[in-house]
Amino acid sequence: MNNLMIFVLVIAMFFGLSQSRDPQLCNLRKLEIQNKLGDHGQILIVACNDKFESGNRPQNVTLKFNEKRVLTKDAIWGKESFKRMFRIYDQRFGRLEHEKTCQKFCILIPKFYWNQNSADNIERNSVQTCSGAAKNQLQREREREREREREMRKISSLCGRITRLPPEKPTKQSHSFFLASHSFGFLSDGGYGGGAEPQQNSSRVKIFDRDLKRIHRDRAAWLSRHRNDTFVDAVAENLLDRLEDCKKRFPTALCLGGSLGAVQRLLRGRGGIEKLIMMDTSYDMIQSCRDAQQDSLLESIETSYLVGDEEFLPIKESSADLIISSLGLHWTNDLPGSMIQCKLALKPDGLFLAAILGGETLKELRIACTLAHMEREGGISPRLSPLAQVRDAGNLLTRAGFSLPGVDVDEYVVKYKCALDLIEHLRAMGETNALLQRNKILNRETALATAAIYDSMFATEDGTVPATFQVIYMTGWREHSSHPQAKRRGSATVSFTDIQKQFGGDNLES
Amino acid sequence: MVRISRVLLKDAGIAIDKTLSEILVCPLSKQPLRVCEKTKSLVSDTIGVSFPVKDGIPCLVPKDGKILEEASKA
C-alpha cells in the first residue's frame, strides 16, 4: 500500500515539474502552476514572477497551497526557510546550465515541513476565511497530513535509494529526484530550528546573554539617574570599608561594572586612590557616571572612563593596584576566567575586591515564579539565574590564584510595598533575567499570578513584602614576597613530640 | 582646570587621557593598541581590529570592534 502511494507521489511530482517546463508556460510572465497533489496539501509549488538568471534572487515569490494563494511577500517566510530554498535553487541551477534564463522556479516542499515552520499564522488566516464546515475539513486534513508525514519519512529513505540510480535516465527525472531528495532532506535537519544551531557552536559554555545584559544596563542607567539606591549603596559601602583596614595605599584603581555610581560616590578618598578607571559594558552607564561626577565637582581623583567587557579585560598586565567590582561579576559566563584576568591586571601585592550575589538571593521570587509557572503554564522555565554558593567563592579565589583569600557573606532583606516594586527595583539595578535559554515570552497572567503568590506567601504583618539578597564579598591579593607563606614541608627543626614534652605533654597524651 | 581641558580635548576629537593610553591593551590578544587619529579609533594591529572612541570613551567590547580590511591595513 505504501509503495503504491510512493509511486503515485513520484509520478505526480514528475507531472508537476514537466508541466512547469512547458514552453507555453515559460513564456508567461506570471506563472500559474497547478498543484496536482493540492487536495491534501502535501506539496507546495512556488511560482515566481521575476525573471531568473544565475545569481538573481527571486523578489516576489508566490506560494500556492490548496489552490489558494497563501502568501506573496517573503516577509512571512522565516529567513532560514528562504536560505534553504535558495540553497536548493543554487544547486539546481548550478547543475542545469541551459536553464539559466528560465523564467520560473519550481520547488517542491512537503506540506509537513511547511507546517513545522512559522507558518502557523498563515494557516490560521486561511481558517478565518473558511466557514465552519471547512474548519472541520481542515482539521481532518491536518490529521491526514500527520499520517502523510509518517509516510513521507519512509519515502525519504526510498528517494535516497532512487537518487543513487545510474544517470542515463532523462534529465527531467533526475531533476525531480534531485529536488525531491533535497526537500526530504529537510527532515534530517530537524525542522526549523536546525539553522540556528551553528551559531552556538562555540567552544565555551554560554549561560548568560551578555548583549542583552548590556541593553539591561543601558536601561538601568536611565532608571537609576538622580536616585540613590539604598541596597546598592549598602553593598558598596561595605565593600569600600575594607579599604580602611589596609595600611597600603592604592594609587591606581580599576572599578568594574555593577554599581559603578555608588562606588564612585562613596569612595570619599578611601584607600588613597589617585587614578580611578571606571569600566562597564554599557556606554550609557559610563556616560551617566561621567555626568554625575561632573555635576558633583569632586575632581580630587583623576577619573578615566572606558567601555569594556569583564570577560575580555582590556587592561595591561600588572598595571592596577586595586580592582573593585561591586555586583557585576555574577553575570559573567566564565567567572574563573575573568577573575584570572583581573589577577593578571593587578600589580604584585595588588588587591581584588568583589561583591557578587549569592545563591540565596531572591529565594522568595524563585519559589513564587516556580509555583505560578506550574499553575498557569504547567511547566517551569528558568527565570532566575544560577548564582554562586558561598563555598564556591573561596574555591574561585584560590583557583584564580589569589593569595590570602577571604570570603564573607551578608544577607540583606529589602522590603517592598508589593512584588511589582521588586521587579522595578531589579530593572533599575539592571539585574533582570538575561539567561541565554530563557523563555522570551512572559504571560501577563503568569506575571500577575507570580506577584499574587509572592504577596500571599511572604507578606509580613505590616503589609510589606521582603526580598532576600545574599551578597558574597571576596577579597584576594596578587601574590607578593611580603605575604606570609607556609614553610616548605620537612623544614621543621623541632619535633612535635619535643614540644609536647616541653609543655607538659602528660595531659595531651590522654 | 581639568574640566576645561577635558572640554577642549572633546572638541579636538579624540581624547584619551594619559592614564588610559598607558594601561589599555587589546581585549582579545592583550597586545598594545595604536591610536588612529584619522578614524578616531584604537587599532589592534595583531588581530586587525579597530575599536571606536566615542566622545573620549574608548569602547573595547569585542563586539564593538570592526575587522579591518587587508587593503586598509597595508
Of A305, A309, A315, the CB nearest to B61: A309
Task: Give the cell for residue B44.
Answer: 589592534
Instruction: Tell me which of 3.40.50.150, 3.30.470.20, 3.20.20.70, 3.40.50.2000 is the CATH number of domain A210-478.
Output: 3.40.50.150
Of A299, A319, A320, the CB nearest to B2: A299
- Residue B5 located in a structural domain: no
pLDDT score at A321: 92
- Residue B39 located in a structural domain: yes
- Tell me the shortest Cα–Cα distance from A470 to chain B, in angstroms: 29
Pairing state between β A320-326 and A346-357: parallel
pLDDT score at B11: 45
Which residue on chain B is closest to A295 by alpha carbon?
B3
Interface test with B, best of A298, A299, A312 (most B CBs within 10 A): A312
In three-state secondary structure terms, A326 is strand
- Tell me the shortest Cα–Cα distance from A211 to chain B, in angstroms: 9
- Residue B4 located in a structural domain: no
Q: Could A283 and B20 be called an inter-chain contact, meaning their C-beta atoms sit closer than 8 Å?
A: no
Start and end residues for every CATH 3.40.50.150 domain found in chain A: 210-478
Rg (C-alpha) for chain A, rounded Å, is 33
Task: Give the cell for residue A398.
Answer: 584560590
Contact A254, A231 (CB under 8 A): no
pLDDT score at A433: 82
DSSP assignment of A369-383, as one string?
Answer: HHHHHHHHHSS----
pLDDT of A96 over the 50 cut: no
In three-state secondary structure terms, A101 is coil
Give the pLDDT confidence of A442-477 residue by residue, as tens digits.
778 888 888 888 988 888 888 889 999 999 999 999
pLDDT score at A136: 64
- Residue B7 located in a structural domain: no
Strand ranges (DSSP E) for B31-74? 34-36, 41-44, 49-54, 57-58, 66-67
Chain A environment of B7 (Cβ under 8 Å) = none
Which residue on chain B is closest to A285 by alpha carbon?
B57
Q: Could A299 and B27 be called an inter-chain contact, meaning their C-beta atoms sit closer than 8 Å?
A: no
- Report the C-alpha gap between A384 and A127 in whole angstroms: 39
- Tell me the shortest Cα–Cα distance from B32 to chain A, in angstroms: 8
CA nearest to A339, candidates A189, A208, A438, A478 = A478
CB < 8 Å from A in window 20-59 of B:
20, 22-28, 30, 32, 54-59
- Report the C-alpha gap between A218 and B61 in whole angstroms: 14
pLDDT of A172 over the 50 cut: no
Of B24, B57, B61, the CB nearest to A281: B61
- Residue B42 located in a structural domain: yes
Q: Could B19 and A314 be called an inter-chain contact, meaning their C-beta atoms sit closer than 8 Å?
A: no
Domain count, chain B: 1
pLDDT score at A170: 37
Chain B environment of A315 (Cβ under 8 Å) = 23-25
- Report the C-alpha gap between A113 and A152 in whole angstroms: 10
Confidence of residue A500 (pLDDT cuts 50, 70, 90): confident
Output the CA–CA distances (angstroms, integers) from residue B13 to A304, B2, B18, B51, B72, in the order listed.
16, 17, 15, 15, 22
φ and ψ at residue B55, rounded to 5 degrees: 55, 35
The one-letter amino acid at B19: T
Name A247's Cβ contacts closer than 8 Å, sequence gap at least 6: none
DSSP assignment of A245-302, as one string?
Answer: T--S--SEEEEEEESHHHHHHH-TTGGG--EEEEEES-HHHHHHHHHHHHHHT--SSE
> Which residues sit opposite A252 in a β-bridge?
A275
pLDDT score at A471: 93
Domain that holds residue B57: 16-67
Give the pLDDT confidence of A100-145 residue by residue, as tens digits.
333 334 443 333 333 333 343 334 333 333 344 555 666 776 777 6
Helix (H) or strand (E) holding B54: strand B49-54
Interface test with A, best of B23, B24, B25, B29 (most A CBs within 10 A): B23
Of A307, A316, A317, the CB nearest to B58: A307
Which domain CATH number covers B39? Answer: 2.20.25.10
pTM: 0.59
Mean pLDDT of the region A305-333: 90
- Residue B40 located in a structural domain: yes
Q: Could B22 and A320 be called an inter-chain contact, meaning their C-beta atoms sit closer than 8 Å?
A: no
- What is the number of other CB atoms lying within 10 angstroms of the CB of residue B63? 11
- Tell me the shortest Cα–Cα distance from A371 to chain B, in angstroms: 38
Check residue A56 and report its DSSP letter: P
pLDDT score at B3: 52
In three-state secondary structure terms, A206 is coil
pLDDT of A386 over the 70 cut: yes
For each of chain B's 74 residues, which pLDDT tens digit applies?
Answer: 555 544 444 444 455 677 788 888 888 888 888 888 887 888 888 888 888 888 888 888 888 888 887 545 44
Of A286, A290, A314, the CB nearest to B24: A314
Q: Could B23 and A302 be called an inter-chain contact, meaning their C-beta atoms sit closer than 8 Å?
A: no
